[in-house]
Amino acid sequence: MRTQVAVIGAGPAGLLLSYLLHQAGVEAVVLEARDREYVRQRVRAGVCEQPTVDLLTEIGLGGRLAAEGLPHEGFSLRFDGTDHRIALTELTGKAITVYGQQEIVKDLVDAHEAADLPLHFEVSDVSLSALDSSRPVVRYRDSSGVVQTLECDAVAGCDGFHGVSRPSIPDGVLTIFEREYPFAWLGVLARTQPSHEELIYTHHPRGFALHSMRSPDVTRLYLQVDPAENLAAWSDDRIWTELSTRLAVDGEFTLREGPILDKGITPMRSFVTEPMRHGRLFLAGDAAHIVPPTGAKGMNLAVADVVVLSRALVALLQGDSALAESYSDTCLRRVWRAEHFSWFMTTMLHVDPGADAFAQRLQLSQLRYTASSRAAATSLAENYVGLPFV
């Protein structure tokens, strides 16, 4: 088989890249290891930056987002038993929209199927070769067990941290920057109305907590826990009790409880690979970088990558390699800004079990300054709503 771009992975990065290329008249084939329903239903991030919302609207995929998304013009920063609002729109003129990553994926899958674009699920044994040439080759086993060979002009590795794309790059080419944090998130999805109209980020002596939502009837909540924590030790009652304790403020606040639909523990890490390109293989999204979720940057960073990559690939196929050659450097400037912001939010809000009293006082000082200084709040808001795409 022959195509112009082989896209490995049908997450938001891979699907959005394929659709952007389609709109630019470039052929692409998307290969995904999971089945169609798993891809459409897997729950991930839920905060869309303003540039992400604008892009999806611009390319004709903003209908459901506009109808079902939950625009937020601010969020709450809680510490010292007090609520402090970060007024995103007042400070920046922009907002964020709560709209689940799985909903964006559904919109993209539907758009691919409506346009009859090649999207292959349940593929296995994917291997990449000839990446240094102008004709890379992707081999894989399709859903019926038949081995296929796909020749292309470029490969987009959008298959996440554990995918095959990054390991296909020879040893010694990539430089890895990584940091693991001494805490994890216990996340729950509950069928209950949100307890607050906006997100709540909480610093509490017992640990960080986050109140978020996925819809008017489904709430997403998180608790800081030890990375080695046993999920079985957390009954529903224990989870609700701990959330109520950490989210409490001096004044009226009642945490709405309901049936917990899903729960899991996610470790926290920062990860960046440089460069994000090797020959005709281009890495995007989680295949190239991971951010702790505190800053709500993961999915939005993947969107920013593929905006740059789509333009670079279109130019490359037209004979101009300049954007392809600068792809990694262009993306990494935004990646490192997002890494820093995510690190800042994470270290400001979480309780570090190894921190001494001096470090704890510095952390509290940063929280107080951020909540009381318009300049500090504006810097936080500007990064949170999303910097403009390059």
CATH code of residue 23? 3.50.50.60
Domain residue limits at 368: 181-268+353-385
State pLDDT tens for residues 298-322: 999 999 999 999 999 999 999 999 9
332 and 217 in a single domain? The answer is no
Query: Once rounded to an integer, what is the mean pLDDT over residues 336-364?
Result: 96
Catalytic residue among 201, 222, 327, 350: 201
For residue 250, is pLDDT > 90?
Answer: no
Catalytic residue among 99, 140, 327, 384: 384
What is the tally of structural domains in the chain? 2
291 and 253 in a single domain? The answer is no
Nearest CA to 282 out of 108, 152, 91, 146 is that of: 152
For residue 43, is pLDDT > 90?
Answer: no
Taking the whole predicted model, whether its pTM rises above 0.85 is answered as: yes
Question: Does residue 293 have an active-site annotation?
Answer: yes
Q: Please tell me the distance from the alpha carbon of residue 138 to that of residue 296, in angstroms, as a whole number.
A: 33
Question: Does residue 38 have an active-site annotation?
Answer: no
In-domain check, residue 238? yes
- Cis omega (within 30 of 0) for bond into 194: no
Query: In this prediction, what percent of the chain has a pLDDT beyond 90?
Result: 95
In-domain check, residue 84? no
pLDDT at 352: 95
Q: In whole numbers, what is the pLDDT of the chain averaged over residues?
A: 96
Catalytic residue among 94, 112, 297, 350: 297
Query: Once rounded to an integer, what is the mean pLDDT over residues 163-173?
Result: 97
Q: Kindly report the CA angle at 57 between 54 and 61, in degrees rounded to 5?
A: 135
242 and 333 in a single domain? The answer is no
Question: Does residue 384 have an active-site annotation?
Answer: yes
The one-letter amino acid code at 376 reads A
54 and 111 in a single domain? The answer is yes
59 and 112 in a single domain? The answer is yes
In-domain check, residue 162? yes
The pLDDT confidence band at residue 194, using thresholds 50, 70 and 90, is: very high
204 and 338 in a single domain? The answer is no
Q: Give the domain CATH number at 367.
A: 3.30.9.10
Query: Once rounded to an integer, what is the mean pLDDT over residues 111-126?
Result: 97
In-domain check, residue 82? no
266, with CB counted inside 10 A (0-12, 13-18, 19+), is: middle
For residue 41, is pLDDT > 90?
Answer: no
pLDDT at 157: 98
248 and 296 in a single domain? The answer is no
In-domain check, residue 89? no
For residue 251, is pLDDT > 80?
Answer: no
Question: Does residue 201 have an active-site annotation?
Answer: yes
In-domain check, residue 93? no
298 and 168 in a single domain? The answer is yes
26 and 142 in a single domain? The answer is yes
The pLDDT confidence band at residue 342, using thresholds 50, 70 and 90, is: very high
For residue 252, is pLDDT > 90?
Answer: no
The pLDDT confidence band at residue 42, using thresholds 50, 70 and 90, is: confident
In-domain check, residue 197? yes
54 and 129 in a single domain? The answer is yes
In-domain check, residue 85? no
Question: Does residue 106 have an active-site annotation?
Answer: no
The pLDDT confidence band at residue 332, using thresholds 50, 70 and 90, is: very high
60 and 111 in a single domain? The answer is yes
162 and 283 in a single domain? The answer is yes
